[in-house]
Homo-oligomer: A and B are copies of this chain.
Amino acid sequence: MGGPDLPVLPPDDSMLSVRFGREVANYFSGSPLNRLSFLRTDHDFLRAAFSHPSAGFLLMNNLSPLTRDDSRLAFVSHPDVEPLTGGDPFAKSEEDMLKEFNSDKTQPLVLFLGVDDRSLLPSNGTEEGTFKFKEYHGSPYFAVDVTPRGTLTDAANKIIAALEAKGLKFRDNSPRRMDLPAPEEKSPPTNGRAPSAPHYTAAIYGQARALLDWNTRNPFCAQCGQRTLSVNAGTKRVCPPTDLAGSLGDGKPRERGPCATRGTISNISFPRTDPTVIMAVASADGKRLLLGRQRRWPAYWFSTLAGFLEPGESIEEAVRREVWEESGVRVGRVVVHSSQPWPFPASLMIGAVAQALPGEGEEIHLGHDPELESAKWFEIAEVREALAHGTSGLGEAAPKGYKEGALRLPPQQAIANRLVTAVVEGWGLPSKI
């Protein structure tokens, strides 16, 4: 299966190119880290990784990442975070953490992201040597939440002040900064709000943001309503059976109400990722492309249709339902093109190229779901022109060479752009259905 020749991997990384072929790796994917997910429960590993001099820590304040002057992510060292995390945050076993659970105390969130075992990042290793644990090696990476909250407010403020004194800053994560990832929104992203950070750090940022947001969005158990405890280095939240808060003064923890998630495995204990479909729909003859726009977008700006996949749907069914509901167009053929992790807050964007059924199937009708202001068929030549001279982030000005009134499209970092490009290049489309 071919595909457009994208800047999948940095040009200097020839080993990876050989390894992975020419697949389409979209922005926010392509992490340099090996997650070693099976070691997240191993506190010997986590302790050693946390305290190693080569460990890098990405700090986030209200989901805004710490950055340098040039907007690159800043990774700090463990002494920088110790006022909040303590020197050895993984010292206690999970069993002891559960026994000592106290819902009156704010728990520091220290997320293990992975190790750079291919030495792809510049800071790998130190004078003291590379981090090694059993057969695994490479600089460890963590994310730490420094949002001032609860009993950690003072410690967090102290860290923030110390880092800002060094000239680092938490980069605003607001919707008006279009060169940064946009905040979450109900409609799945169909636009170009993507950061300008390098490919590798965008993937690290995306992983950290999604995981941290999941933790802070789910402090209570959806099954029983009681507070949960983050374990497995930020990748699981459990519902403890007892609580030191509200104890009867005998020093013994208070028994909490029952919860069905205890003693079994429930998906709600694990991070949530919402599968989303996003699709470039070609006409039955492949000569036109269906695009839509929302009212709040800049004039002439269009993108691909998109929507959340629902329970009980295959990818193809979700594509057909969303296209019909939003535009009235009926889709036949659907081919998955590529995917993009989208951390606002936690989507997996599954990108597809689709083809409308001929005749009546191509008729546009906006009367079903009133989500779009407009949906239109564009000639491929017009789309090609827009890819060349009309792409930009949603909040950015049109690029040089853009002629007022012409079609505008999302930038290359957005999977929408990659899907449109694929259709223009004839990817995934047979000569006829």
Q: A343 on the interface (CB 8 Å rule)? A: yes
The answer to whether A219 touches B222, judged by C-beta atoms less than 8 angstroms apart, is yes
The answer to whether A316 touches B341, judged by C-beta atoms less than 8 angstroms apart, is no
Residues of B within 8 A of A316 (CB): 20, 23, 25, 29, 339
Binds B, one of A46-54, A151-159, A263-271, A373-381: A263-271
Range of interface residues on A (Cβ < 8 Å): 35 or more
How many copies the complex holds: the figure is: 2
Residues of B within 8 A of A208 (CB): 312
The answer to whether A267 touches B275, judged by C-beta atoms less than 8 angstroms apart, is no
The answer to whether B217 touches A321, judged by C-beta atoms less than 8 angstroms apart, is no
Q: A323 on the interface (CB 8 Å rule)? A: no
Q: A368 on the interface (CB 8 Å rule)? A: yes
The answer to whether B186 touches A312, judged by C-beta atoms less than 8 angstroms apart, is no
The answer to whether A220 touches B223, judged by C-beta atoms less than 8 angstroms apart, is yes
Specify which of B26, B31, B184, B315 is in contact with A312 (CB 8 Å cutoff): B31
Residues of B within 8 A of A339 (CB): 314-316
The answer to whether B357 touches A211, judged by C-beta atoms less than 8 angstroms apart, is no
With A272-B272, A343-B311: A221-B223 Cβ-Cβ less than 8 Å: no
- Taken together as a complex, chains A and B put the C-alpha atoms of A272 and B347 apart, in Å, by 11
Residues of B within 8 A of A345 (CB): 267
Q: A206 on the interface (CB 8 Å rule)? A: yes
Residues of B within 8 A of A308 (CB): 270
Q: A210 on the interface (CB 8 Å rule)? A: yes
Chain B, Cβ-Cβ closest to A203? B312
The answer to whether B325 touches A38, judged by C-beta atoms less than 8 angstroms apart, is yes
The answer to whether A207 touches B311, judged by C-beta atoms less than 8 angstroms apart, is yes
The answer to whether A314 touches B186, judged by C-beta atoms less than 8 angstroms apart, is no
Binds B, one of A62-70, A160-168, A224-232, A391-399: A224-232
Query: Which residues does A use to contact B, with CB under 8 Å?
Result: 1, 19-21, 23, 25-26, 28-31, 34-38, 135, 184-186, 203, 206-208, 210-211, 214, 217-227, 235, 260, 265-268, 270-275, 308-317, 321, 325, 330, 332-336, 338-341, 343, 345-346, 348, 350, 357, 367-370, 428, 433
The 9 closest A-B pairs by CB, nearest first: A207-B312, A210-B311, A220-B225, A29-B314, A38-B369, A186-B265, A218-B222, A222-B222, A336-B336
